[in-house]
Structures are given as structure tokens and as C-alpha cells.
Chains A and B, each alone.
Chain A
Amino acid sequence: MPELSPAEWTAVELSLRIALVATAWALPFGIAIGWLLARGKFWGKTVLDGLVHLPLVLPPVVTGYLLLMWFGRKGPVGAFLYDHFGVVFAFRWTGAALASGVMGFPLLVRPIRLALETIDRRLEDAAATLGANPALVFFSVTLPLALPGIIAGVLLCFARALGEFGATITFVSNIPGETQTISAAIYTFLQIPDGDAAAGRLVVVAIVLSLAALIAAEWLGRRASARFHGE
């Protein structure tokens, strides 16, 4: 591994923190939305499905712009969150996490929804006859059985969040030490003379991290499904 300068380390550390926070926050929402899409019967389900997938098809710059409009200090949601909770997204790493989470969200929801759709509902009935109330059925049967899908979604979302560029730079700009992730740093280094070497080092880091995420996904997924198919 090539030596990284402190500035480069900062970008790497920031990227990891942003991707982790984004994925952790997205996960409960991802499970809830995945469950609604898999099980819910309600008016507007198609609209919800479309909204969830929007970040996948919109130009990331557009998503970033929309986030800026809504979650900026003067945006309706951003102003509310600042006034009531003191939370600021604009030009902060938290905003980068929000943008990454939104971009990764469709990739998180999809495998979770698929996993929930393929669960044998009759096992949930069996759990109910054994005295488990609906919440217990969900946590003791549904969720564990959906685990391989949840793991796949988490890793995809994390990987997407780690590499997010367009929406992040549009929403929270490219501030070293605050919102300058690996991708943004590579972009910046390529703009300055003699930045090639630094950019190259970060490219290596990006490849290593992405591969690690993939291998982790594979390993965890196999462990989870081994639990169901006997070890």
C-alpha cells in the first residue's frame, strides 16, 4: 500500500465515516420501506416504489440539487431540522452522509424487498400459533429469514455511499476535511498540476475498499444462508 499524506488519510477516513453513517441511518428506513413494498396493500404503492428508485435513474446532480432545495439551511426540511434539532446538513459531512444515503437507498431496499417477498409466510403463521405477537413474529422469524437480503442491501448501499460523487458535491460542495470524500479528492487532485500521484494512491484505496466490501458481502451472505441450509 502506498504512503498516504495526512490530507489523503482525512479523505479516506471521512469517506468511511460518511458511508457508515449513511448506511446505518438508511437501514431501518430501508427495512420499513422494503416491508411496505413487499407486504403492503395501499393506494400509492407504485408512487412510493417510483420515488425510492428515483435516485437510481436521476442524474446525481439533480438529486444533489433537490437535496439542496429541501435540506439546505433555507429549505423547508433543512430549516425545520435546524430550528428544532439544531441539525445542519448544508456544507457539512452530515449532508454528505444524507446525499450518500439517498443515493444508496434504492440499492438497499431492493434486496430487502425481494428477501421479504420470498419468505414462506406459513412460517409466520406457525409462529403466531406458538404465541408470538406480530412484533415478535417480525423480529424472531421474518427478519432473521430476510437476513441474506439485508446483508446484500447493506453492502450495496455502503459501496454506493463510499463512491458517491455527483449528488454530494452538488449538495455539500468539496471542502477538505468536511465533505471531501475519496471521490471528491481524486477529482480535485486531477485538477491541479502534479496531482496525478495523489489521485493514483486514492484510486488504489478506492479499489481496495470496494473489493473488501464485496468480499465481506459474499462471506456474510454465505454464512447467513448456511444457517438455514444446515452447516
Chain B
Amino acid sequence: MLALEVEKQLGALRLAVRFQIAGGVTALFGPSGAGKTSLVNMIAGLLKPDRGCIMLDNTILFDAAKAINVPSHRRQIGYVFQEGRLFPHLSVRQNLDYGRRMSGRRRDPTEFERIASLLGITHLLQRRPRMLSGGERQRVAIGRALLMQPRLLLLDEPLASLDAGHKGEILPYLVRLRDEAAIPMVYVSHIAAEVRQIATTVVRLDEGRVLAAGGLELLAEAG
């Protein structure tokens, strides 16, 4: 479970957000500029809130009052970025293996094989990121985040950089992931249709505030 109560001044935007989410896929839904990316960056430890606290499964990730701020590399939170951010100097295999190597875990070929085939990227392992299509790149990015065995998976508009055809290529994988893996996910998006396909819970954000939190019916209100 993720519980969060944070405040942060971001230029003109004052972000003050409080919500709790259990398992499943929670969509952070709202127009661009609502503070969605800043929020997931705070969960990941890439951005420090001015005030508040963030808890994940009874461990404190951030608490301004207690001066606790667990650094990114110790949070074990997977992050799939809008633009993939694959390491250009590493092959697909090395990209996928990066999280395991950095945390010094033992190689697990079965798990590697399982994730790679789940995402349909087994034939790409020797390639460099430059040689991948946008859709392939995002699938590798998802695999890389999954293989670090995250306690929580953050997906920041993972389809935003893709054209319509490639969007359709990724969504089914994400749905499978939701149904097969027991990892809670936070899915950032401003597109209702996308959210409807993947999310189980919705948190609606606008101008740095939570407008509402609940089920998929919130999407209808948003129009």
C-alpha cells in the first residue's frame, strides 16, 4: 500500500496532494501541468517534497518532519519513463539486466526469460536501443523496471511518445502484466481511453490537487 501526503512549490504551481492506494493499477489522471510527473518523481525519490511524508507498505520513504529521505536507489520502485530512457551504450540484454547487476542479486535466467517473453522482446536482446522502434523501446523499458523486482511500478505516460499503432502494441502487455504480476502500479495519463483499459482505481488531479479518488466512473465525469 502506498500512502502519500506531500506539498511542493513548483514554480507557479503549488502541489498539495494526499491519497492512499492499495494494489492493482491506480491511474493518476489529469491534464498536463496538473503535477502528475512531479508526483511520481517524488514517489521514486527523484524530487524532494517541501513537506509531508510518503509510505510504502509500512516503510517510510520520505518524512520531512523526521528528516527521512530514502535515496532513489534504495527505494526499489520501478519507473518506466515517458521516453524510455534506455542506456544507449548497453545492449537490450544489458539494459534488462542492469537493475540486477546494480543491486548485486544473483542471475535468474528463468525470471529473465519469463519477463522477456511476456513482453515479446526475446528476439531483440542483442540489439542496441537505437535500433529499436518506439514500441520495442518502451517494452524493454517496462521489462527493465520489472526485472529489478520492484515493490511498486511507476509508469509515466509510457505510451505518450508512441503513435497510435504502437500504442495498441503496448497496452495488451500492460493489461497482462496487471493480471499476471502482483506488483501494484501507478499509471500516469491524461487520456481517458487509455486509463479505462488498464486502471482499477483512479485519482483525478488538476492544478496540483486531488479532485477525486475512486473507481473508473470518475473518468465519465471528466468527459
On whether the two chains bind one another, the answer is yes
Number of interface residues of A (CB under 8 A): 25
Given that A126-B79, A127-B98, A229-B130 are known contacts, is A133 also in contact with B73, CB under 8 Å in the complex? yes
- The answer to whether A231 has its CB under 8 Å from any CB of chain B is yes
A132 proximity list for chain B (CB < 8 A): 73, 98, 102
Given contacts A123-B87, A127-B98, contact A230 B128 (CB under 8 A): yes
Q: Which of B45, B83, B148 contacts A130 (CB 8 A)?
A: B148
Report the bound CA distance from A227 to B128 in whole Å: 8
A129 within 8 A of B: yes
Q: Is the CB of B46 within 8 A of A129?
A: yes
Give the number of residue pairs across the A-B interface with Cβ within 8 Å.
78
Q: Are B46 and A128 in contact (CB under 8 A)?
A: yes
Give the interface residue-count category, chain B: 20 to 34
B102's partner among A123, A136, A231 (CB-CB below 8 A) is A136
Residues from chain B with Cβ under 8 Å of A90 in the complex: none
Residue contact B130 to A129, C-beta cutoff 8 Å: no
Identify A228's interface contact among B72, B88, B144, B145, CB under 8 A: B88
User: Cβ of A141 < 8 Å from any Cβ of B?
Assistant: yes
CA distance A94 to B138 in the complex (A): 53
Verify if B123 is at the interface (C-beta below 8 Å from A).
Answer: no
Q: Is A125 an interface residue (CB 8 A)?
A: yes
Q: Using A131-B99, A228-B130, A231-B128 as known contacts, say yes or no to A125 and B89 having CB atoms under 8 A apart.
A: no
Residues 162-212 of B contacting A (Cβ, < 8 Å)? none
Is A145 close to B, CB under 8 A? yes
> A130-B148, A145-B89, A230-B128 known; A125 and B46 CB under 8 Å?
yes
Q: Mark A83-125, 1 if CB is under 8 A from B, else 0.
A: 0000000000000000000000000000000000000101101
Contact of B85 among A122, A140, A229, A230 (CB under 8 A): A122
For the complex, what is the distance from the CA of A40 to the CA of B131, rounded to whole Å? 34
Distance in Å: Cβ of B23 to nearest Cβ of chain A: 21
Q: Are A140 and B102 in contact (CB under 8 A)?
A: yes
Is B77 on the interface with A (CB-CB < 8 A)?
yes
Bound Cα distance from A113 to B187, whole angstroms: 37
A interface list, Cβ under 8 A from B: 120, 122-123, 125-134, 136-137, 140-141, 144-145, 147, 227-231
Residues of B within 8 A of A (CB): 44-46, 71-79, 81, 83, 85, 87-89, 98-99, 101-103, 127-128, 130-131, 144-145, 148
